[in-house]
Chain A
Amino acid sequence: MNLAHIDELDRVEMPDGFVWRPVRRHFGIRAFGTNAYTPGANGRIVEEHTEQTYGHEEMYLVLRGRVRFTVDGKDHELGPGQLVHVRDPSVRRAGVALTDDAALLAVGGKPGAPHEVSAWEYTFFASPHVREGRYDEARRLLHEGLEEKPGSPPILYDLACVEALAGEGDKALELLNEAVAADERFRKYAQTDDDFVSIRDDPRFPHADA
């Protein structure tokens, strides 16, 4: 049976402090977006964010423990079996665990559109490997993402970071320029990204004034 307890799912510790438990990825779900979250050391369980980039409608169901959600500037303390449904993608939302055992399930997607696996799933999954210097594993995961989402700018960008950190400057520049060509926002991000220290002086680097 394709079954797992939430504590058996992978623990992907994110820089903002929350721990991502990849549900969709674990089960290979294709029809809808769903993930679980548990708190990191600082208690964060949902990063502060909006869903404007993806246009997603979301709901967060508390499975265990207590969580204080801050939604549209207002605080709501929820326990097991309680949920917050954020219909409007522009509404800012965040969550802090009030108990160490807190766990929640998120379900989301763009109304009226077939579910597409989000690029962030691949970049988030690879990020602990990048931070720990496990570049081969990070490469493998990001290439897996490019197979699913060919030409995805955030995945190309993160792969460029990995190659730059791994000392593969030529590959990094090629990937970074590909990401910038697909989405100009990545030119701006690259200017201050410490991962690109080793290639920033190269004439091929996509400078802000280009």
Chain B
Amino acid sequence: MSDGYTILSLDEVEAVPHREGTNLIPVRHALGFRPAGVNAWKADSGGQVMPPHEEDSGNEELYVVVQGRATFTVGEETADAPAGTLVFVPPQVFRSAKAEEDGTVVFVVGGSIGEAFNAGGWDSFSIADWYRQEGRNDEARAIMEQLIAEKPDYWAVHYNAGCFESLAGNADAAFEHLRQAKELDAAGDSAQYFSGDSDLDPLRDDPRFQELLG
């Protein structure tokens, strides 16, 4: 292989426990893929494939069943999805999937209409947070530093680094990242996250948090 390309097996990427019992295969992080958001989820029979959620306005996603079988729910519809099935979900529509076979793997591609893909780093945060819980703090911090190095001017990477430090109990570092996030977020997109994100709960009683919101 050369610097110009990479071969990767989804089986070889360390899956990371994510919220609501899901397991993320962090493809974008593993590859450094830039044109779109790419990740995968793995689950055994009866398990949740990806967290049930809706995407923000403008965010389109395509789910592709690579191995196994899943039952997808999109909006109020439910459908069987064996390997080789593609499911497209437009923005702001509820989506969820349950694995019907052990070893089910679902690949997902996402992006925003009319915008260059900008990795905000929720996936990097998820890996770092799992490493932190496992006591692998140096690896965890290295992932967040890599994310910031890739997109130093993007508010969301600093926000996610703030969440990481909040959960790691490093309030000073967390506030520093969150201040940077606020400064860089000219459009005010971060406000909804500051107000409702449980990752920031350890900081909410700190007077600096109210200063930040103000």
In contact, A57 and B34 (Cβ under 8 angstroms): yes
Beta-carbon contact of B31 and A85 below 8 Å:
yes
Q: Cβ of B10 < 8 Å from any Cβ of A?
A: yes
Binary flags per residue of A60-90, CB closer than 8 Å to B gives 1, else 0 = 0101100000011010101011111111101
Q: Which B residues between 98 and 118 are near A, CB-CB below 8 angstroms?
A: 105, 107, 109-117
From the candidates A9, A72, A103, name the one contacting B5 in the complex (CB within 8 A).
A72
- The yes or no answer to A110 lying at the interface (CB within 8 A) is yes
Neighbouring A residues of B31 by C-beta, 8 Å: 59, 85
Query: Shortest distance in angstroms between B35's beta carbon and chain A's nearest beta carbon?
Result: 3
Q: Which of B8, B67, B81, B117 contacts A3 (CB 8 A)?
A: B81
Render A111-136 as a binary contact track against B, CB cut-off 8 A, 1 for contact: 11111000000000000000000000
Quick check: A91 and B2 within 8 Å, CB to CB?
Answer: yes
The closest CB in chain B to the CB of A112 belongs to B116
CB-defined contacts of B9 to chain A, threshold 8 Å? 81-83
Chain A: CB-nearest residue to B8: A83
Closest to A21 in B: B86
Q: How many residues of B contact A (CB 8 A)?
A: 51
Q: Which of A12-20, A29-37, A143-151, A166-174 contacts B (4 or more CB under 8 A)?
A: A29-37
Pick from B3, B6, B10, B77: contact of A1, CB under 8 Å: B77
Instruction: Let me know if B33 is at the binding interface, CB within 8 A.
Output: yes
B22-54 CB contact bits vs A (8 Å, 1 = yes)?
Answer: 000000000111111010000000000000000
Partner of A56, one of B2, B35, B67, B113: B35
Residues 87-102 of chain A: 1 if any B CB is under 8 Å from the residue's CB, otherwise 0? Answer: 1101101000000000
Interface centre among B75, B77, B84, B110 (most CB of A within 10 A): B84
A171 → chain B closest CB, angstroms: 34
Query: Do A111 and B34 form a contact, CB below 8 Å, given A88-B3, A105-B107?
Result: yes
List, in ascending order, chain B residues with CB within 8 A of A6's CB: 84-86
User: Does B72 count as interface, using CB distance less than 8 angstroms?
Assistant: yes
How does the 8 Å CB contact mask read for B1-15 relative to A, with 1 for contact and 0 for none?
111111111110000
**Would B35 and A109 count as touching, CB distance under 8 A?**
yes
Nearest Cβ on chain A to B137's Cβ, whole angstroms: 29
Inter-chain contact B35/A107, CB cutoff 8 Å: yes
CB neighbours of B201 from chain A (8 A): none
Closest 8 CB pairs of A and B: A109-B35, A88-B4, A31-B111, A111-B34, A27-B88, A32-B36, A32-B111, A91-B4
Residues of B at under 8 Å CB distance from A? 1-11, 31-36, 38, 58-60, 62, 64, 66-67, 72, 74-75, 77, 79, 81-90, 105, 107, 109-117
Can you spell out 13 A-B residue pairs with CB atoms less than 8 angstroms apart? A2-B74, A30-B114, A31-B36, A32-B35, A34-B109, A72-B2, A72-B4, A87-B5, A93-B5, A107-B35, A109-B111, A115-B35, A115-B111
Residues of A at the B interface (CB closer than 8 Å) are 1-7, 9, 23, 27-34, 36, 56-57, 59, 61, 63-64, 71-72, 74, 76, 78, 80-88, 90-91, 93, 103, 105, 107-115
